[in-house]
Structure 1
Amino acid sequence: MNRRDLLGALGALLPSQGLLASQPDRGKLVIVGGAENRWKDRSILRSFLEHAGGSSARVRLLVAATSRPAEAAESYVRAFSDLGVKDCEALPVVARTDAFLPEVSKSILEANAVFITGGDQARLMTVLWETPAMAALHRAHHLGSCCIGGTSAGAAAMSRHMIADGVAVHRARKGVVETDIGLGLLTSAIVDQHFSERRRLARLLSALARRPDLLGLGVDENTALVIDGEKGIEVVGTGVVTLVDPTYARTNIDGLEEEGLLELLGLRLHTLPSGHRYPVNGSGGAALPPDLLKAVQRLVQPGPVRL
């Protein structure tokens, strides 16, 4: 059974054999919408490093999503070096066989931070799905406090239910988005990247109509959503994170033909600008609207650890 068939068969998120309850001391997730500034202020990379322990952190780059891994690795090594990082190198993972190498898992487990570059999330998951390297990412994040960041394709792959392909349609339609199983580090949401710049709201809504049990996260370019299990969520960079909650929505998807226009009634939509924090307990400043507070609490809930 391939990942896409498994995704359909499992439906809702349920622990299964090989999955264990995670621990509370997990690391943070930094979900970047792509096109982050690597050469001037580097605000997103700076934030990533802060959550990883500063410039002394051992940073590993996962470049398996891109067709130009050497070029991507060189670019990020230079950017992190300019921020004072002495120990930054790319994991030697470009093919699926690489993800089975013991030295790769060892390097992941010893890292303070892993940054997943852009490219093609389907390519990334073809390399990583059900490999020791993927299991090491889970153990490092959930049990070893490793901060994991991902940009563009690396951001899309953070979720368990992942957008694999689909054009940026102008109107929400049935069957225009292909989904697959991602890394599963974020189990409560679907992530879409380059969000405002590529006008992907209708695409995200099309995906959520099939999975109203999940939240939708649309992350703009040069923008990141930081998920901290203890504190809540924070938006950094220059743009906005669009949070769509279809929990209470009603849809006509079951009665539609393929590519039929979707009716979505009762959606909750929140725009979260950079520079704002949303605490998991709702404290600090103005109280969060109840629907948003519930969504934040869902986002910070840990998923299962895949071993």
Structure 2
Amino acid sequence: MLQLDPQSQSCGSAMLQPTKPAIMIIGGAEDKVHGREILRTFFNRSGGPEAHIAIIPSASREPNLTGGRYVSIFEDMGAKSVQMLDIREREQTNDPYWQRATEECTGVFLTGGDQLRLCALLADTALIDTVRLRAQMGQITLAGTSAGAAIMGHHMIAGGGSGESPNRALVDMATGLSIVPELIVDQHFHNRNRMARLMSAVSMYADLLGIGIDEDTCAMVEQGGGLQVLGKGTVTVIDPSDMTHTNEPIVGSTDPLSLHSLKIHILCHGDRYHLHKRALL
């Protein structure tokens, strides 16, 4: 879990340092053509012209196409090196070449695709253990978009529906990669009407925070637990810590859920929130 440090307990200059490593949780469909604000932030936080970036496109069924696009983007920005870790079988994670790449890089980017596929390939491997530890210690910048965002928590939204009242059958849960274990992340959030889905997930794990991230939007988590929003959309925070009642344990899987006294924040570009204090900055 991310540890607090003295510089990050307030909304001071630590959150504004462009090269300070962070964990970037991106809602998907980030701008890859024009301003590229989110991708450029990842590039800068990874070291800018001195960045050594590893792209992991394992969530995608077309990893060469998906990963190759990000390789071109970060090479165009001027990264010192960009490698694509084209991992399609779990056994490949034991390759010393890939392990060395994750030990020496300054930034790791997880692409979109299928979060279940990504976890099936990487969960409980030495490679992802290295990435997780280095990201949590603030040694690298780790970014994940779409499926690469969904895997950030310990409990992961693997799929589900939309357009209904909250109910248990609306969301399928699985185990993620525990990068930021206190979160349940949903992506393409308002774009795909997923508020009820995230509420349904939070009802099952009321000790965790639900984070819903719109497309072309990023929830950037600093080492100390501060979160800052970047991009064109919003980040929705669902905090159940003051919830006084839910019928989740006693109703059927398709019955509507009651959730009393949920706390909800809608954050836009520049807004800040502290994950551990569960408070706006």
Settle same-fold status: TM greater than 0.5.
yes
- Could you tell me how far apart the structure 1 residues matched to 2:148 and 2:276 are? 26
State the alpha-carbon separation in 1 of the partners of residues 70 and 218 from structure 2: 17
Query: What is the root-mean-square deviation in Å for CA atoms of aligned residues?
Result: 2.0
Q: Distance in 2 between matches of 1:168 and 1:95?
A: 32
- What corresponds to 1:275 in structure 2? 270
CA distance in 1, matches of 2:270, 2:138: 28
Aligned equivalents of 2:212, 2:226: Cα separation in 1: 17
Give the CA deviation at 1:176. Answer: 2.5
Residues of 2 paired with 1:142 and 1:54: CA distance? Answer: 20
Any idea what the Cα deviations from partners look like across 1:16-48, whole Å, max 9, x if unmatched? xxxxx8776894100000000111100001111
Matching residue of 1:92: 86
Q: Deviations over 1:40-86 (max 9, x none)?
A: 10000111122222132100001100000000111101111221223
Pair 1:295-2:274 in alignment: no
Give the Cα separation in 2 of the matches to 1:143 and 1:240.
27
The aligned amino acid for 1:277 is R
Name 2:105's counterpart in structure 1. Answer: 111
Structure 1: 5+ residue stretches without partners = 1-20, 281-291, 298-307
CA apart distance, 1:174: 1.9
The aligned residue for residue 65 of structure 1 is 59
How many angstroms apart in 2 are the aligned matches of 1:55 and 1:109?
19
Aligned counterparts of 1:182 and 1:293: Cα–Cα separation in 2: 20
Counterpart for residue 242 of structure 1: 236
SS at match of 1:247: coil
Which consecutive unaligned segments of at least 5 residues does structure 2 have? 6-19
**Contact (CA 8 Å) 1:52, 1:112: kept in 2 or not?**
yes
1:115-169 deviations in whole A, cap 9, x for unaligned? 0000000000000111111111123223461110000000000111111111224
Q: Distance in 2 between matches of 1:206 and 1:222?
A: 24
SS in 1 for 2:266: strand
Q: Could you say which residue in structure 1 is the equivalent of 2:134?
A: 140
Aligned to 2:11: none
AA in 2 matched with 1:229 = Q
Structure 1 residues 247-277: Cα deviation after superposition (integer angstroms, max 9, x where no partner): 1212001110111100010000000001323
Assess, with a 3 A threshold, how the Cα gap between structure 1 residues 81 and 296 changes in structure 2: closer, same or farther: farther
5 Å-filtered alignment, 1:95-244, equals 95-143=89-137, 145-230=139-224, 232-244=226-238
Moved more, 105-114 or 51-60: 51-60
State how far apart, in whole Å, the 2-side matches of 1:296 and 1:82 are: 38
- Is the 8 Å Cα contact of residues 64 and 95 (structure 1) preserved in structure 2? no
Within 2, Cα distance between the matches of 1:27 and 1:156?
Answer: 20
2:253 corresponding residue in structure 1: 258
The 1:212/1:41 distance shift into structure 2, 3 A limit, reads same
- Secondary structure (helix, strand or coil) at the match of 1:253 reads coil
Structure 2 distance, partners of 1:181, 1:241, is: 22
**Normalized against structure 1, the TM-score is what?**
0.81
Structure 1's 90 and 215: CA in aligned 2 closer, same or farther, altered over 3 A? same
Question: Which residue matches 2:17?
Answer: none
Measure the CA separation in 2 of the matches of 1:138 and 1:24.
17
Structure 2 CA distance for aligned equivalents of residues 270 and 222 of structure 1: 19
Deviation per residue, 1:74-127 (Å, 9 max, x gap): 110111122122311211312211112222111101010000000000000000
Q: Is the 8 A contact 2:3 2:223 kept in 1?
A: no
TM-score by length of 2: 0.89
Q: Matches of 2:117 and 2:75 in 1, distance apart? A: 27
* Pair 153,226 (structure 1): closer, same or farther in 2 beyond 3 Å: same
8 A Cα contact 1:117 1:151, kept in partner:
yes
Deviation (angstroms), 1:293 = 7.8
- Residues 258 and 277 of structure 1: CA distance in aligned 2, closer, same or farther (over 3 Å): closer
In the alignment, residue 275 of structure 1 is paired with which amino acid? G
Distance in 1, matches of 2:26 and 2:95, equals 28
Aligned partner of residue 53 in structure 2, secondary structure? strand
**d(CA) in 1 for partners of 2:158, 2:56:** 18
